[in-house]
Structure 1
Amino acid sequence: MRPIRSLTRLSRATRFLLAGVVAAATLAATSGTAEAVNEPVNVWLTTTSDSAGRNVTRGLAQQTALRFGPAGGTAQHTINIDENTTYQQFEGGGASITDTTAYLLRGGPISAATRDTVMQKLFSPTAGIGLSFVRNPIGASDLSRPGNVSLDDTCCNLNDFGANGYDTNVRLLTGQAKQLNPALRVKGVPWSSPGWMKDNGRMDQMGWLKWEYYPMYAQYLVKYIQSYQAAGIPVNYISVQNEPNCCQASNPTAMNYPGMSWNPSGLVEFTKNHVYPAFRAAGITTKVLVHDWNYGDYANFGSAVLADSGVRNDPLFGGIAWHGYFGDPAVGTQVHNQYPTVKQFSTEHSGGTWISNQHNEDLADIVNYARNWSSSLVKWSLALNQNMGPHNGGCGTCTGLITVQEGGSRAGQVDYTIEYYTTGHLTKFVKPGAYRIASTANSTVQNVAWRNPDGSKALIAHNGGTSTQSVRVNWGSQSFVYTLPARTTATFTW
């Protein structure tokens, strides 16, 4: 067929016809809503075989591709995708590089070659699942080697900050993760200030930050951020306290891992009048997240912090962080309705032996957090050993994305848990900067949809039941029908 060299040689009718085609093509290219006929759909599945949702029989296994076609066909469930309706932007998904993780991956249980392979499978967007968010403890937490260590345990100044090397391997792993995935977001959060700054003189059993150390503790956070900057790792976010005031009410002496007592007014004072000014004076642009605690603790704690306009309206304010152990994620929608410009982040919900079905729990989190305005999905410790440790008091029944075999006949081997695959259904296919788009809510086939910065789409759908479910996905005038096996998660991309 000869190329058309000039519209002037064509008939007037043909020119109008071609102009309409060009206009339609331009509209389709710019509107982000065009449905291409026979658009291919890639499918990845994860299936578990047990009632606890932990035995992975098929993990992120790619299936035969489908194609969209003219709307038609019947199914038990219908999911309508509307990319004209958008919600929050995705910041990232991942887990925490705890001291436990750093010890297991850099402390000797595995070889350097195995570690590099594991890190690639965790953080590479092409060769792995592309984890894109880490939330790292500043000093010891409950998932650390035994011993409550801060980044400066020498009273009464910060001249020895970092000298004990406690954070070195965490920082090295974070740098490696950032190299593997340059889009990685990094967040830091302390479980406690150094013990010498507190009225009880120790990092555990709660205790309050002494008033005279408010300015120095703000500088402690400044030095943490600067230590990462010096290593070429920007810290995107920080919270001033993990789970403020957690667990002391029932039995303060049983609080056998680092923690710190706060009330909302103290957090407002420290954040607004000490952290913000210290960051500005140091030229730090890291954003500060508030609360970093459960949805169920918002009414009696986080709401008073967020209500303070001096905290909320400062340019260094970054949003509110949620944990998923207690309360309803619908609180996120309530907060959005009251403060529509406030970003929300899900920053901790551990897997663990107390969870009746880990597969179903993880997908409920992925779907419900996103549907209630969260911009992230962050699990707890990235790694634990086969005994769910080492741990420093606190959680001795938590699980991670990977299990590192320490000692025994399988010493040095690494297992990928159901949490690796469930998190990967999000992070492998939904990139930072994606927007959540409308998809039909369904209690039997839970789902959430995203549109990536390059225009590609990802629909995550989960059938947690024991029988197959057929699903019809409508995208404008196009659709496909898929039979989702029992106990199976699917990610569809196009």
Structure 2
Amino acid sequence: MSPTTVPRLAGRAALALCLTAGALALAPPPAAQAAGETVNLWLTTTSDSGGRTVTRGLQQQSPLSFAATSPAATHTITVDENTRYQPFEGAGASITDTTAYLLRGGPVSAATRDDVMRKLFSPTDGIGLSYVRNPIGASDLSRPGNVSLDDTCCDLNDFGANGYDTNVELLTAQARQLNPALRVMVVPWSAPGWMKDNGRMDQMGWLKWEYYATYAQYFVKTIQAYAARGVKVDYLSVQNEPNCCQAGNPTAMDYPGMSWNSSGLVELTKNFVYPAFRAAGITTKVLVHDWNYGDYGTIGSGLLADSAVRTDPLFGGIAWHGYWGDPAVGSQVRGQYPAVPQFSTEHSGGTWITNQHNEDMADIVNYARNWSRSVVKWSLAVNQFMGPHNGGCGTCTGLITVQEGGARAGQVDYTIEYYTTGHLTKFVRPGAVRIDSTANGTVQNVAYRNPDGSKALLAHNGGTSAQSVKVVWGG
């Protein structure tokens, strides 16, 4: 392909290059047969130092064409679809209680909600989000108050009676209707307080031994509740961020969480959750760890070391968060356990991030290059005050901002995170496979081949000057 410039207009630029399948869908082309093939391009740019002011959001550019020869360029990215890595399962965000409140029964109209959901989840009318990771009960991005799906001791006879997750389930059902390829994951921040030794959902606390079996049934009933809405739950993690957040953390103890060690998680997973799922005919896969790359040594390593956890047919893989540690840990885990699927399941945008545009694109590239099959942001939506929140993060941002109160009440803004996530989800479909592309520190990039044979290359210039790039494919 002739050189193209990945620009920077006082900000950052992300570029999606897509080669349609055409006659090339059946097999990789012979050398030099790429000449003349059309490449479609979409561009996102930001104009501020924080990478949040969108000047061009997934704006389609004039198409380019491959040529047999081209002038020199500063950077050459060679794409080789014959070298393939992990499959892509999806990307998206979490339908939190905050999201459900804002979009259902909160400040927006039903017509606005339906339009927003199309722009989020439709593969044709929107960016085609393809993965949601939903809390079970309250989290930090919930309306204030720690509520489970059954707050009545000491059985599950009142499960779901409070209707707490109803709007989360309804939004998920709508998302699945808009995108049938949507992957759905659920995860608790805490068991109901009456199951814990401290008697409450916040301030950590351990699951009482006598409630291990009951807690496994709590998961069964959660999955069955989604099924009643017509939604299959693909993945479940038994705990979000085990042991987060202990004393000394500025947000410690003020939102739902649980104390765990690896041995307890192993016991719950293999001796209670797996058998409960089998007995109920549930095929939902269980992901382990669901915490930072940097916490692998204290939590995840012990879970993967247990062969009964790792080799069970209900085992789904390991889930990562991106707040601490190096994604290269994923490659280390791949080297030790090559059969274990890996997923990135949470990394929030927020005001603490120096440049959101750069952060998002670096995450998309680095997670994929270290074997992750997904990229999942934190809350899909927050209001203009970055809430409502239930302790925890009061500075987290979402893919959309819903105006609650004020002159613009009921209006919805699309953030840079909508566009950066869309660079992946609009062009890379579940079932795609990552293919080889030349790593480049200046123009970070990752490439995929979709099931229909079309190719997508995501390239990002996070620097302060324009970069010329030549893409080589098929000779």
CA distance in 1, matches of 2:27, 2:324: 40
Matched-pair contact (CA < 8 Å) for 2:265–2:303: yes
Q: 2:216 aligns with which of 218, 223, 236?
A: 218
Separation in structure 2 between the aligned mates of residue 414 and residue 110 of structure 1, nearest angstrom: 8
* Secondary structure at 2:290 match in 1: strand
Separation (CA, whole Å) in 1 of partners of 2:24 and 2:76: 25
- Mapped contact 2:252–2:392 kept (Cα < 8 A): no
* 8 Å Cα contact 2:121-2:129 kept in structure 1: yes
* Secondary structure at 1:69 match in 2: coil
Kept in 2, the 8 Å contact 1:71–1:474? The answer is: no
Question: Shift of residue 249 of structure 1?
Answer: 4.9
The whole-number CA distance in structure 2 between the counterparts of 1:334 and 1:61 is 37
1:40, distance to aligned residue in structure 2 (A): 0.3
Equivalent residue of 1:31, what SS? coil
Alpha carbons of structure 1 residues 389 and 252: separation in structure 2 relative to 1, 3 Å: closer
Detail structure 1 runs of 4+ shifted over 6 Å in the superposition: none
**Secondary structure class of the residue paired with 1:288:** strand
Instruction: In structure 1, give the amino acid aligned to 2:138.
Output: A
- Of 425-434 and 242-251, deviating more is 242-251
Identify the match of residue 465 of structure 2 among 443, 467, 490.
467
Pick one of 431, 434, 446 that aligns with 2:432: 434
Q: 2:373 pairs with 372, 375, 391, which one?
A: 375
Taking the TM superposition and a 5 Å limit, the aligned residue runs for 1:286-325 are 286-325=284-323
Question: Unaligned 5+ residue runs, structure 2?
Answer: 1-22
Counterpart residue identity of residue 335, structure 1: V
Q: How high is the TM-score relative to the length of structure 1?
A: 0.90
Instruction: Identify the structure with bigger relative contact order (alpha carbons < 8 Å, sequence gap 6+).
Output: 2
For the residue of structure 2 that corresponds to 1:70, the secondary structure is coil
Q: Secondary structure at the match of 2:127?
A: coil
Q: Do structure 1's residue 32 and structure 2's residue 28 form an aligned pair?
A: yes
Residue 148 of structure 2: SS of its match in structure 1? coil
Match of 2:141 in 1: 143
Shift of 1:304: 0.6
Secondary structure of 1:186's aligned partner: strand
Q: Which amino acid aligns with 1:80?
A: T
CA-to-aligned-CA distance 1:40-65 (integer Å, 9 cap, x gap) = 00000000001100000000000000
Are the equivalent residues in 2 in contact too, given 1:91–1:432 (CA < 8 A)? Answer: yes
* Maintained 8 Å contact 1:295/1:329: yes
Stretches of structure 1 that go unaligned for 5 or more consecutive residues are 1-26, 478-494
The CA deviation at 1:230 is 1.3
Q: 1:253, CA displacement in angstroms?
A: 9.6
Are 1:117 and 2:115 counterparts? yes
Tell me how far apart the structure 2 counterparts of residues 253 and 180 of structure 1 sit (CA, whole Å).
36
Over alpha carbons, which structure has the higher Rg?
1
Q: CA deviation at 1:28?
A: 6.9
Superposition map of 1:223-372 within 5 A: 223-250=221-248, 254-372=252-370
- The structural deviation recorded for 1:165 is 0.3
Do residues 443 (structure 1) and 441 (structure 2) align?
A: yes
Shift of 1:327: 0.2
2:404 matched residue in structure 1: 406
- With the length of structure 2 as denominator, give the TM-score of the two structures: 0.94
Q: Report the CA distance between 1:234 and its aligned residue.
A: 0.2
Indicate which of 97, 100, 117 corresponds to 1:99.
97
Q: Which among 190, 193, 196 is matched to residue 192 of structure 1?
A: 190
Does structure 2 conserve the Cα–Cα contact (< 8 Å) formed by 1:205 and 1:252? no
Task: Indicate if the aligned counterparts of 1:435 and 1:452 stay in contact, CA closer than 8 A.
Answer: yes
Number of the residue aligned with 2:73: 75
Per-residue CA deviations over 1:299-323 (Å, capped at 9, x if unaligned) read 1221011110000000000000000
- Equivalent residues in 2 for 1:383-398 (5 A)? 383-398=381-396
Match of 1:22 in 2: none
Cα distance per residue 1:335-375 (max 9 Å; x no partner): 00111111000000000000000000000000000000000
Contact 2:150 2:160 in 1 (8 A): yes
The offset of 1:476, in angstroms, is 2.2
CA distance, structure 2, for counterparts of residue 174 and residue 293 of structure 1: 23
Does 1:44 find its partner at 2:42? yes
Contact preservation (8 Å) 1:146, 1:390: yes
